[in-house]
Amino acid sequence: MRAVDLFCGAGGMSLGFQRAGFDLVQAYDSWEPAVASYRRNIGSHVWLYDLRDVFTVGPMLAALRPDIIVGGPPCQDYSAAGRRIEGENAGMTRAFAMYLCIVRPSWFVMENVRQAQKSHAWADARQMIKAAGYGLTETVLDASWYGTPQSRKRLVIIGRLGERDGFLAAALAAARSKRQTVVGDVLDVPQGHFYMRPFGGGRGVRSAAEPAPAIIRTSRERPWSKYLNSPHPDDPIPAEEAAILTRDQVARIQGFPEGWEWGSATSRDIDQLIANALPSQLAEVVGRVILAREAGTTIPVVEGSFLQWLQRRGRSPQSARNVKSQCNRARRLLGGKTHTRIALEIEALEAIGDFQRLEVRTQSHLRTALRLHADFLLENAQRRGAPPMAITCRVA
């Protein structure tokens, strides 16, 4: 799949998507240190461009014909570490939506801080994206459960043309690891504990056997005298006995590999580039989940409550299980693709050669199963007061 990375920063998201198997054909950022870092480490396909210029960049993107657009619009206006006043940076979320409407790739991924989901900018962007025909999976993922030694919670929004909302939620949940990745998994910390400057009055000393807190620009600063004189009561050891992490170590926690070249950027700029990045391991997992669905090797989970719903409508337990099995079979034939309207779903199913070769009776069962599941989703949506087009597929 051909990918374009907008607001690419130093290249954390591109690195993850490359590892997953995407072809990064172009990347854009408006900050010279970010572009320089990207060019040194990812490739020469990066452009220094002001992404506010939608009327210039939009046609350029359309000419590339990407299968997917990924990106993380600036988050400073939303971030807990910022002023939380929506201004020009928040407007770039709307610009991201405009690029999607112009280019109409099959897929997109947008990541940001959790607070962005409640912003006016995302509300406007979401309205544009839905009008363009995208189904959305909106979720907050903790990077420590996706291969990153850091409790970094990010809003990840995945869209695909023609899908129902929530279409990839179960697959993302299934990709979660069985245990959190901790700092000791990627770094050797002889002291067993390290200090990381806390934000918002949190704990400063952490064990290497736990994930690091979310990386910010000042994470690697040494403890101030104020903190040494009044440490957090939950610190396991005194801060002066804990390791002070180097920039390279902080970058490793953020997902950059050893030997990453930062070039001639200032020390402050490098710290900001690291802090801004999406951990590459999280991006890689998200990319692999998308590729698996694109290839049709995964399908949406049919909710467990569907069985109870069928039985309330008069079916026996065995009949309900048969319907669920038939629904899953139809989903596999469809390559995991869902549709916003059942008529489109049946039409797509009937166009598949493997379906056409089935017995007429079996074809009828599969159509019926899909229709029943659509009725179930619609009834649930109406109970929640959601419009029919906002039907979601919940994780069972």
CATH code for position 53: 3.40.50.150
Which tokens go with 334? 């469809």
Region 96-118: mean pLDDT is 95
The reported pTM is: 0.91
Are 20 and 160 in the same domain? yes
Is residue 270 one of the residues assigned to a domain? no
Phi then psi dihedrals of residue 178, to 5 deg: -75, -20
Pairing of the two strands 23-29 and 68-71: unpaired
Which tokens go with 97? 């939506």
210 contact partners, CB below 8 Å, separation of at least 6: 180, 182, 183
The pLDDT, as a whole number, for residue 199 is: 82
pLDDT at residue 80 greater than cutoff 90: no
Measuring CA to CA, which residue among 107, 195, 193 is closest to residue 156? 107
Which tokens go with 308? 């109870």
pLDDT digits (tens, 9 = 90+) for 276-312: 999 999 999 999 999 999 999 999 999 889 999 999 9
pLDDT at residue 394 greater than cutoff 50: no
Give me the chain's average pLDDT, please: 92
**Range in 112-121, 128-137, 378-387 the model is least confident about:** 378-387
pLDDT band at 79 (very low <50, low <70, confident <90, very high): low
For residue 16, what are the CA distances in angstroms to 13, 39, 106? 5, 16, 19
What is the count of structural domains for the chain?
3
Handedness of CA 19, 20, 25, 26 (dihedral sign): negative
pLDDT digits (tens, 9 = 90+) for 50-63: 999 999 999 999 99
Q: Is 314 left (phi over 0), alpha (psi -120 to 50) or beta?
A: left
Is residue 382 one of the residues assigned to a domain? yes
Report the alpha-carbon distance of residue 82 to residue 389 in Å, rounded. 35
Region 9-34: mean pLDDT is 97
Report the alpha-carbon distance of residue 163 to residue 341 in Å, rounded. 9
pLDDT at residue 201 greater than cutoff 90: no
pLDDT digits (tens, 9 = 90+) for 149-184: 999 999 999 999 999 999 999 999 999 999 999 999
The pLDDT, as a whole number, for residue 200 is: 78
Are 206 and 251 in the same domain? yes
Are 321 and 350 in the same domain? yes
Are 245 and 333 in the same domain? no
Are 190 and 338 in the same domain? no
Percent of the chain with pLDDT over 90: 86
Q: Which of 75, 101, 327, 393 is catalytic?
A: 75
Are 35 and 101 in the same domain? yes
pLDDT at residue 85 greater than cutoff 90: no
Region 192-211: mean pLDDT is 93
pLDDT digits (tens, 9 = 90+) for 240-281: 999 999 999 999 999 999 999 998 889 999 999 999 999 999
Is residue 93 one of the residues assigned to a domain? yes
Are 133 and 55 in the same domain? yes
Are 147 and 63 in the same domain? yes
pLDDT at residue 86 greater than cutoff 60: no
Last residue of a domain, one of 294, 320, 350: 294
Is residue 363 one of the residues assigned to a domain? yes
Residue 264's CB is within 10 A of a number of other CB atoms, namely: 7
pLDDT at residue 72 greater than cutoff 50: yes
Are 83 and 193 in the same domain? no
The pLDDT, as a whole number, for residue 263 is: 85
Report the alpha-carbon distance of residue 220 to residue 58 in Å, rounded. 38
Is residue 271 one of the residues assigned to a domain? no
Strands, sheet with 2-6, edge to edge from the N-terminal-most edge strand? 46-48, 23-29, 2-6, 68-71, 107-113, 153-161, 134-142
DSSP 101: H
**Range in 41-55, 66-80, 276-290 the model is least confident about:** 66-80
Is residue 395 one of the residues assigned to a domain? no
Report the alpha-carbon distance of residue 214 to residue 154 in Å, rounded. 10
Are 49 and 132 in the same domain? yes
Residue 177's SS3 state is coil
Contact in structure between 115 and 144 (CB atoms under 8 Å)? no
Residue 243's SS3 state is strand
Is residue 300 one of the residues assigned to a domain? no
Task: Say whether 393 is catalytic.
Answer: no
Domain residues for the domain of 336 are 305-390
Phi then psi dihedrals of residue 187, to 5 deg: -125, 145
Is residue 299 one of the residues assigned to a domain? no
pLDDT digits (tens, 9 = 90+) for 315-355: 999 999 999 999 999 999 999 999 989 999 999 999 999 99
Higher pLDDT, 362 or 118: 362
Report the alpha-carbon distance of residue 132 to residue 113 in Å, rounded. 24
The pLDDT, as a whole number, for residue 390 is: 40
Calculate ∠ Cα 333-339-341, nearest 5°: 125
Which tokens go with 65? 């014909």
Measuring CA to CA, which residue among 253, 292, 256, 251 is closest to residue 21? 292
Which tokens go with 90? 């928040």
149 contact partners, CB below 8 Å, separation of at least 6: 181, 182, 183, 184, 185, 186, 187, 211, 212, 253
Are 59 and 140 in the same domain? yes
Are 167 and 45 in the same domain? yes
